[in-house]
Amino acid sequence: MIQFQQVSKRYPGGIDAVKQLSFEIRSGELVFLAGHSGAGKSTLLKLIAGIERPTSGAVLVNHQNVSRLSRKALPYVRRHIGLIFQDHKILFDRSVFDNVRLPLDIIGFSGPEVRRRVLAALDKVGLAGKESLNPIALSGGEQQRLCIARAVVHRPAILLADEPTANLDRDYAHDILELFKSFHQVGVTLVIAAHDESLMADYGRRILRLKHGEFTA
Amino acid sequence: MKHWLRLNRLALVRTLGSMVRTPVNTLLNLLVIAIAASFPFGFYLLLSSVAAVTGKVPVEPQLSIFLRNAATPAEIGKLKEQLATDGRVAQVRFVPRDEALKQLQERVGSADLMAGLTENPLPDAFIVTARLGASSAELEQLRDTLARHAGVEEVQLDSAWAQRLERLIALGEVLLQVVVALLAAALALITGNAIRMQILTRREEIEVAKLIGATDIFIRRPFLYMAALQGLLGGLAACGIVAAALSWLNPAVRDLAATYGETFLLRLPNPAEVAVVCAITVLLSLAGAWVAVWRHLRRHH
């Protein structure tokens, strides 16, 4: 599903965010990405989504070389990927409902189908009944759930989450991880970046550990 | 196709929503567009009103040939012959000096015109009507040819004033082109800037939309709708401004014309002209918006 071949990313200024990474994530796998902040977790996720282009090497998603895609083709690849951002990127000028519907508008869903899917996604993440609120009225944990609802509303095959449990207390973090587990059970490929490894241990999944842009044992 | 229509309808609804949500901004943008467009349009209507007058006044090109007092009958005969054979001349009438004096006395209504004068001061003259449709260059050439003739004192081209007006209108038309070009550029810049402000207020939305798979077209669409709508409403408002201004001027123009014994009013815009003005403002707005969005997308790729 996702394949890295000798991928390096150097940011302007000579900082190597990731160095010569090669790995493969199979379809339907749930993989944790561990490491301190600055280890290259976010960069790795951005490379998968085509938000960053590698300095060298190839990133394959669904057998497509994302790093070589044209500007025109990239949006269509991103529609198969659900993104949960570290900084949420929630739009506060519109309701919870309108935040979640954005991917559906982009793909071109209409009328009753939009409503059905948005409400289903909100229900799934435990925000049922809050669709008409402004996101500012939600708690931190609820905003995180809103972000997840927006990422899954168009049922992407791949879900990438950057620090989804940061700033959440332990119980709440477990709730979120349970939510991801339920997506995993219906066949979604998940890559979850987190710095707190103790959370991942409970799930007994594959863990990729990054340090200074390289894998450690 | 259905999908495309749906996306467009969605963009249009969003656009109308955001215009209604910021009424002051929307109104100010419309006014700026309207005022910028009303200048060249109003100027154009003024010109076309005045041009219509010069068309109405019969610009019958007439030349008056005044002869020397010392001109011999042979010279006069030769001139007469030449005028009769010249293709540019439609009609010739000889006015002897005695007849000219009589006419003058009749017009002034005084028999004492000659009191104090020993002899008739008026010269013999030919009144030449040139062929209709003769260009001003042809007429001037004719005047110069005739002026060189022996026995001719002076040739006057009587339609000179009309030609001067025609040239003035031609000058106005060039001026109009300059004004149109300048204000068209201003209009595109204004709408481009208005759209740029819109883009800035919706920067986060654009960023998120791009990250989750929006194409450039999807992002551009609502802004183009907004620009087109602004252009259309601005164009209509410009026509309104121009119609109001001309209607306001018209009573004064009518009074002025009345002193010349004429009935004359400035022309108001007709539907075809309104359509053209709106089409131009829409296209310019679209151009401005396109550039603004293009610049933003390129910078933030």
Contact A172, A162 (CB under 8 A): no
Sheet containing A30-34: order of strands: A81-84, A158-162, A189-194, A30-34, A206-211, A214-216
pLDDT exceeds 80 at position B112: no
Distance between CA atoms of residues A49 and A43, nearest Å: 10
Mean pLDDT along residues B244-259: 90
pLDDT exceeds 60 at position B25: yes
Instruction: Chain B: give the shortest CA distance to residue A120, in Å.
Output: 19
Q: Specify whether B66 is located in the same domain as B194.
A: no
Contact A2, A24 (CB under 8 A): yes
Q: How confident is the model at residue B131 (pLDDT cuts 50, 70, 90)?
A: confident
Q: How confident is the model at residue B68 (pLDDT cuts 50, 70, 90)?
A: confident
SS3 content of chain B, % helix, strand, coil (to 5): 75, 10, 20
**pLDDT exceeding 70 applies to what percent of chain A?**
99
A77-116 pLDDT, tens digit each: 999 999 999 888 999 988 999 999 999 999 988 888 999 9
Question: Can you read off the two tokens belonging to residue B256?
Answer: 């002025």
pTM: 0.72
In a domain, B2, yes or no: no
Q: Is B1 on the interface with A (CB under 8 A)?
A: no
Report the CATH number that the domain containing residue B104 is assigned in CATH.
3.30.70.3040
Sheet containing B152-157: order of strands: B89-95, B125-130, B62-67, B152-157
Q: How confident is the model at residue A119 (pLDDT cuts 50, 70, 90)?
A: very high
Instruction: Chain B: give the shortest CA distance to residue A108, in Å.
Output: 6
Q: Specify whether B153 is located in the same domain as B173.
A: no
Q: Is A71 on the interface with B (CB under 8 A)?
A: yes
Q: Specify whether B199 is located in the same domain as B99.
A: no
The reply to whether residue B211 touches residue A108, judged by beta carbons under 8 angstroms, is no
First vs last Cα of chain B: how many Å apart?
28
Domain ranges, residue B230 = 8-56+164-299
pLDDT of residue B114: 67
pLDDT of residue B259: 85
Q: Specify whether B154 is located in the same domain as B168.
A: no
Instruction: Chain A: give the shortest CA distance to residue B220, in Å.
Output: 12
pLDDT of residue B79: 84
Q: Specify whether B49 is located in the same domain as B181.
A: yes
B5-17 pLDDT, tens digit each: 777 777 778 778 8
More confident residue, B35 or B99: B35
Q: Is B298 on the interface with A (CB under 8 A)?
A: no
pLDDT exceeds 60 at position B57: no
Name chain B contacts of A76, Cβ cutoff 8 Å.
213
**pLDDT exceeding 70 applies to what percent of chain B?**
90
Q: Specify whether B78 is located in the same domain as B194.
A: no
pLDDT of residue B286: 94
Strands (E), B32-74: 62-67
Q: Specify whether B215 is located in the same domain as B286.
A: yes
Distance between CA atoms of residues B191 and B28, nearest Å: 11
Mutation target for B interface from A107, A146, A150, A152: give the one with most B CBs within 10 A.
A107
Query: What type of residue is B278?
Result: C
A69-78 pLDDT, tens digit each: 888 889 999 9
Q: Specify whether B169 is located in the same domain as B237.
A: yes
Name chain B contacts of A103, Cβ cutoff 8 Å.
212-213
Of A26-35, B7-16, B174-183, the range with the lowest mean pLDDT is B7-16
Phi and psi torsions of B31, nearest 5°? -65, -40
Distance between CA atoms of residues B250 and B253, nearest Å: 5
A161-188 pLDDT, tens digit each: 999 988 788 888 888 888 999 999 999 9
The per-residue b/e assignment along B163-173, b for 16 or more CB within 10 angstroms, e otherwise, is: bebbeebeebe
Query: Which residue shows structure tokens 């654009």?
Result: B206
pLDDT exceeds 70 at position B156: yes
Q: How many domains is chain B partitioned into structurally? A: 2
The reply to whether residue B204 touches residue A89, judged by beta carbons under 8 angstroms, is yes
pLDDT of residue B208: 92
CA A74 to chain centre: 17
List CB contacts of B242: < 8 A, sequence separation 6 or more: B38, B41, B42, B45, B269
More confident residue, B253 or B52: B253
Distance between CA atoms of residues A25 and A27, nearest Å: 7
More confident residue, B171 or B51: B171
The per-residue b/e assignment along B236-260, b for 16 or more CB within 10 angstroms, e otherwise, is: bbbbebbbeebeeeeeeeeeeeeee
Q: Specify whether B235 is located in the same domain as B96.
A: no
Q: Sketch the domain layout of chain A as residue ranges.
A: 94-150
Name chain A contacts of B209, Cβ cutoff 8 Å.
102, 106
pLDDT exceeds 90 at position B117: no
Of B207, B209, B301, the CB nearest to A106: B209
Distance between CA atoms of residues A81 and B161, nearest Å: 78
Name chain A contacts of B298, Cβ cutoff 8 Å.
none
pLDDT of residue A60: 93
Q: With H, G, I as helix, E, B as strand and everything else as coil, classify residue B36.
A: helix
pLDDT of residue B10: 75
The chain-wide mean pLDDT, for chain B, equals: 84
Q: Specify whether B247 is located in the same domain as B148.
A: no
C-alpha closest to that of B114 among B127, B126, B98, B125: B98
Of A194-208, B29-43, B245-259, the range with the lowest mean pLDDT is A194-208
Q: Specify whether B182 is located in the same domain as B295.
A: yes
pLDDT of residue B159: 65
In a domain, B226, yes or no: yes
In a domain, B1, yes or no: no
